[in-house]
Amino acid sequence: MIKHLRVSKSKAQEAKIFLEESNALNESFLPIKEEEHILWPLNFEVDGEIILCEGKKSTRESRDYRLRLPVKIQSIVPRAFDIFGDIAIIKLSEESLPYSELICSALLESHGNINKVALDMGVKGDYRIRNLEMLFGDLDFVSTHRENGFKFTLDISQVYFSPRLSLERKRVYDIAKSEEEVLDAFAGAAPFSVALASKGCKLTSVDPNPAAELWSHKNFKLNNIAKTNYEFINSRIEDIVSELPFYDRIIMNHPTKSLNYLKMLSEKMNPKGTLHLYKIVEKNDDFHVNDYLTSDFECIFEREVHAYSPQSSLKVFDITKSDSNVQKTNQ
């Protein structure tokens, strides 16, 4: 049984490009055609509607780098890795690390767009920066990544960026309306902000990392975003939240600590606003975000964005003010 991403035929090509760029497309299998949908076979789970079904084997040469490794180590190396621009970012266990040279060679042979391979040793510090070591290629961690029609240039050793959130950023972009006032509370290099500002939303992007401010301004300029559509504040959100206005949409992409900020940021929502909360949830944890909300708020949508580890996943929860509270506010 193979995991597939189910998308409408109108978005099939867009999804294919994203899956190819992020190395999520399993080219050992063929896409499955339904009446109104396409099922793309996956190397690893991504955000979207996931269907588990029998795969159709392809006769094309696979881009699965593991097949280029000695059989004895294929089972100990990870299937999934990220690609940012021309840099592959991979996590290796102690068992697989001694084979890093072979792994780098296999990655470069199977993906012509990769020129460098970086070892991901986890996220460090308050700025949530990847702890990286370059395994192959020069030591420059700057690259340009293309996503949903936008370009992002940054140093991945200075600012955190997850290519696996591409479809989630597209989802938020699709449901947002132009002229919305949006708070991107943990903006990083501003991928959410750039996309929404391009739609005509008015962005307030906040991040305490000075490098995030530097690269965000570069990315706003790179994507021709008018300066009147965004403001970047280099600060911790808790230090300035009392000075901020109310917003139609709030993005809380801080998966390990989002609940710590839920109360203070939910109070900054307009009556009909939406808050997108991202949280890592253990797969055996019976987590309900409504347990952390007052009666004034409710979760109207939730889904798994992508697998985070074998034991956990990243989930998004869309939160609004409850209907009764909105009616009281409007009276």
Classify domain 160-330 at the CATH topology level.
Rossmann fold (3.40.50)
Angstrom distance (rounded) from CA 169 to CA 183: 14
- Asked if pLDDT for residue 324 goes beyond 80, the answer is no
Q: 267 falls in which pLDDT band (50, 70, 90)?
A: very high
Angstrom distance (rounded) from CA 314 to CA 238: 23
- Asked if pLDDT for residue 76 goes beyond 70, the answer is yes
Out of 3.40.1350.10, 3.30.1490.20, 3.40.50.720, 3.30.70.2580, which CATH number does the structure's domain 2-57 have? 3.30.70.2580
Q: Is 80 exposed, middle or buried (0-12, 13-18, 19+ CB in 10 A)?
A: middle
Angstrom distance (rounded) from CA 113 to CA 200: 33
Over residues 50-70, mean pLDDT:
85
Q: DSSP secondary structure string, 185-222?
A: TT-TT-HHHHHHHHTT-EEEEE-S-HHHHHHHHHHHHH
Three-class DSSP category at 298: strand
Most confidently modeled of 30-34, 109-113, 165-169, 262-266?
262-266
List every span in the chain annotated with CATH 3.30.70.2580: 2-57
Over residues 94-106, mean pLDDT:
97
How large a percentage of the chain has pLDDT more than 90? 75
Angstrom distance (rounded) from CA 151 to CA 160: 16
The answer to whether the Cα torsion of 199, 18, 44, 216 is positive or negative is negative
- Asked if pLDDT for residue 44 goes beyond 90, the answer is no
Using one digit for the tens of pLDDT, what is the confidence trace for 294-311? 999 999 999 988 888 888
- Asked if pLDDT for residue 58 goes beyond 90, the answer is no
Angstrom distance (rounded) from CA 300 to CA 89: 34
Q: What is the mean pLDDT of the chain?
A: 92
Q: 305 near 169, Cβ under 8 Å?
A: no
Angstrom distance (rounded) from CA 245 to CA 241: 8
Using one digit for the tens of pLDDT, what is the confidence trace for 144-157? 999 999 999 999 99
Which residue has better confidence, 64 or 86? 86
* Cα–Cα separations (whole angstroms), residue 149 to 198, 199, 292: 11, 12, 36
List every span in the chain annotated with CATH 3.30.300.110: 65-140
Q: 110 near 70, Cβ under 8 Å?
A: no
DSSP H or E segment with residue 315 = strand 312-321
Angstrom distance (rounded) from CA 183 to CA 120: 29
At how many degrees (to 10) do helices 12-21 and 166-175 cross? 140
Domain 65-140 superfamily per CATH: Met-10+ protein-like domains (3.30.300.110)
Over residues 321-327, mean pLDDT:
61
Q: 102 falls in which pLDDT band (50, 70, 90)?
A: very high
> What pLDDT sits at residue 307?
82
> What pLDDT sits at residue 328?
39
Most confidently modeled of 10-24, 39-53, 66-80, 237-251?
237-251
DSSP H or E segment with residue 310 = none
Strands 269-282 and 312-321: antiparallel
> Residue 61 has what DSSP assignment?
P
> What pLDDT sits at residue 59?
67
With CA atoms as reference, report the closest residue to 21 among 64, 85, 79, 65: 85
Query: Could you tell me the pTM of the whole model?
Result: 0.83
Question: Tokens representing 74?
Answer: 């294929």
With CA atoms as reference, report the closest residue to 106 among 131, 79, 130: 79
Three-class DSSP category at 281: strand
List every span in the chain annotated with CATH 3.40.50.150: 160-330
- Asked if pLDDT for residue 46 goes beyond 90, the answer is no
Q: 47 near 303, Cβ under 8 Å?
A: yes
> What pLDDT sits at residue 330?
39
Using one digit for the tens of pLDDT, what is the confidence trace for 157-180? 999 999 989 989 999 999 999 999
